[in-house]
Amino acid sequence: QVQLVESGGGSVQAGGSLRLSCAASGDTFNCMGWFRQAPGKEREGVAVIYTGGGSRYYADSVKGRFTISQDNAENAVYLQIHSLKPEDTAIYYCAAGRMSRIGCLYSDEDGTDFGSWGQGTQVTVSS
């Protein structure tokens, strides 16, 4: 099991930026994803990174505004968010797993391929 701790959420105005962090410890992993769940909505994937080689995949709704990155020395993954919109308001979760590169980049949008999850960090965007 991988232990994951998210941080960096907060309340910002539309157009602002945030950088979410996910610190990992414990078991090894090679795929990390960021997911979000808004009130009354299902969980959705926003970005994944295959930490074995750095390949990334983004949901269409966040392309151009979200950037996922990794720091192997810190055993951490980040989600840089620009041009925040009110519809980005959600609890953001990071998740980790071990899978092939293709499996990672095309993992299920609801995160069922990932075995380890953090507790989430709240992002609230006001208009």
Q: What is the pLDDT of residues 4-15, one digit of tens each?
A: 999 999 999 999
Q: What SS3 class is residue 53? A: coil
Please report the pLDDT score of residue 84 as a whole number: 96
Are 22 and 76 a contacting pair, CB within 8 Å? Answer: yes
Indicate if the pLDDT at residue 17 is higher than 90.
Answer: yes
Please report the pLDDT score of residue 52 as a whole number: 85
Please report the pLDDT score of residue 15 as a whole number: 97
Indicate if the pLDDT at residue 72 is higher than 90.
Answer: no
Please state the rounded mean pLDDT for residues 33-44.
96
Digit-coded pLDDT (tens) for 83-116: 999 999 999 999 999 999 999 999 988 888 999 9
Are 98 and 26 a contacting pair, CB within 8 Å? Answer: no
Indicate if the pLDDT at residue 74 is higher than 90.
Answer: no
**Residue 37 to residue 103: CA distance in whole angstroms:** 22
